Structure 1
Amino acid sequence: MILYIWRHPKPLSTDGLCIGQTDVNVNRRKLKRLANKIQRFVRLHQLPKMIWVSPLQRSLKVGQILAQRGFQYQVAPELAEIHFGEWDGKFWQQIEKQAIDEWCDNFANFSPANGESLQQLFNRAEIWLDKIAVEQVNTPVLAIGHAGWINAAKMIATDQAVPNLAINWLRSVAYLSCNRIDI
C-alpha cells in the first residue's frame, strides 16, 4: 500500500505551546492552500477523490473544504496527534523540567498524566495502517495528519523500533508537506 499523507497547515498562535490533541485554529487561507495542493496532486496522479482526516480541526477542515470540491473524506480518530495529556495546550516553560527530562530519557514509554506514550502512538498508527492496507490493497491512500503520527508511520514502514531516547526521534515534517509512505 502507498500512503500519501500531508501534514496540516501551521496552527495560529501556538508558538511555545505543547500541542498534541489540543484543537487549535488555522488560518482559512492556509487550509484552502493545502486543499488546493491535494486537489492538484490527485488530478495530476489520477487518484481517487477519497481522503482520510484526523478529527482535529487543523486536518478535518481541509477534508471539509475538499468535500465541497467533490471529494469524500473519512474521519479516523487513529490519525490524531499524540495526546500529551495534562501538558497539552500548556507553554513548554510551564512544564516541569524534571518531567521533560524523564520523557526524553524514557521517550518510548513515558506518558504525561492522562496522556499517551510514544509506544501507544506507534501502536495506534500501526493498527490503522494494517487495517487500511487490507482494505486498500491496490489503491493509494490519501490522508491529512500530524507530524508525530507521520514520523511514527515512517518508522513503522521501515521496521524501526520506537526510539527510547528523544535524540533518536525523526526531524519534524514540514507543514503542508506530502509524505509518501510505502507499507
Structure 2
Amino acid sequence: MEIFLIRHTQPAIEKGICYGQTDLELASSFEKDLRLVEENLPQNINFQSIYSSPLKRCKKLAVGLFGNFIIEDHRLKELDFGDWEMKAWNKIPHKELNPWMEDFVHTPCPNGESYHKLSNRGIDFLNELNKLPAGPIAIVTHAGPIRAMHAHVNNIALKDSFDLKVEYGEIIRLQLDNVQSI
C-alpha cells in the first residue's frame, strides 16, 4: 500500500517555542503554502482514504487539499510536551530538559509523553491501515509522527529518526507492506 505523509504548513508561532499538541493556527502564508503542497502532490491519484491529525494546523491543510472527506485520528497528533507546551525552549529548566535530551526516545516530558509512546501510536495506526484494501492513502500530520512511521517502515532506530528532515508542507511517500508492531 502506498501512503503519502504530508506535514502541515507553517504554524502561526514564533521560533523557539515548544509546541506539540497545542492547537495552533496556521501562518498568514497558508493560502500560498497550500498551493505549493498541491503542486507537489502527484497528480491523478485517487486516494482511497485521507486521514488527518485533529489539530487545526493539519485539519485545515487536509480540508484545503481534499475537501471534507477526511478521517481525523488522534494517533496522528504531535508529541505531547506536557508542562513544556508553549514555553520557550531556552526557559525550560536544564534539570528537566537534560534527561529528556539524553534519551528523548524513552524519557517522557513532564506530564507529557515519550517519543516511544508517540511511535507506538503511529505503529498502531499503520497496522490498522494494513487491514484495509490496498490503495493510496494520504495522511496529514506532524513531523514527529512522520519521522516515527518512516523509521518503523524503514527499520531505522527511533534515536536516529531525526536524521530525516521534514519541512513544513513536505510530502513523504512510503510503501507500506505488512508492517508489524514491535
How would you bin the TM-score normalised by the shorter chain? 0.7 to 0.9
Distance 2:149 2:22 in 1: 21
Q: Which amino acid aligns with 1:46?
A: I
Question: How far apart are residue 132 of structure 1 and its match?
Answer: 1.0
Unaligned runs of 5+ in 1: none
Q: Partner of 2:51 in structure 1? A: 52
SS at match of 1:126: helix
TM-score using structure 1 length:
0.85
- Which residue among 139, 164, 170 is the counterpart of 1:177? 170
- 1:158 alignment counterpart: 154
**Scaled by the length of structure 2, what TM-score is found?**
0.86
The answer on whether the counterparts of 1:3 and 1:140 sit within 8 Å (CA) in structure 2 is yes
> Which ranges of 4 or more aligned residues in structure 1 deviate by more than 2 Å?
31-42, 63-68, 167-172
Distance in 2 between residues matched to 1:3 and 1:152, nearest whole Å: 14
Q: 1:52 & 1:101 partners in 2: Cα distance?
A: 35
1:72 aligns with 2:65: no
Deviation at 1:28, TM superposition (A): 5.3
Per the TM alignment, residue 35 of structure 1 is displaced from its structure 2 partner at its CA by: 6.1
How far is the alpha carbon of 1:159 from its aligned partner? 1.8
Deviation at 1:87, TM superposition (A): 0.6
For the 8 Å contact 1:23–1:56, the answer to whether it is kept is yes
CA-to-aligned-CA distance 1:116-142 (integer Å, 9 cap, x gap) = 10110110000001101211x320110
Counterpart CA distance in 2 for 1:34 and 1:125 is 25
Aligned residues: 176
Q: What one-letter code is carried by the residue in structure 1 that aligns with 2:54?
A: P
Alpha-carbon offset, residue 105 of structure 1: 1.3
Question: CA offset at residue 38 of structure 1?
Answer: 3.7
The aligned counterpart of 1:15 is 15
CA contact (8 A) 1:66 1:72 kept: no
What is the match of residue 27 of structure 1? 27
1:32, 1:62 within 8 Å by CA — same for their partners in 2?
A: no
Mapped to 2, the partners of 1:51 and 1:31 lie a distance apart of: 20
- Farther-moved stretch of structure 1 (148-157 vs 45-54): 45-54
Task: Report % sequence identity.
Answer: 27
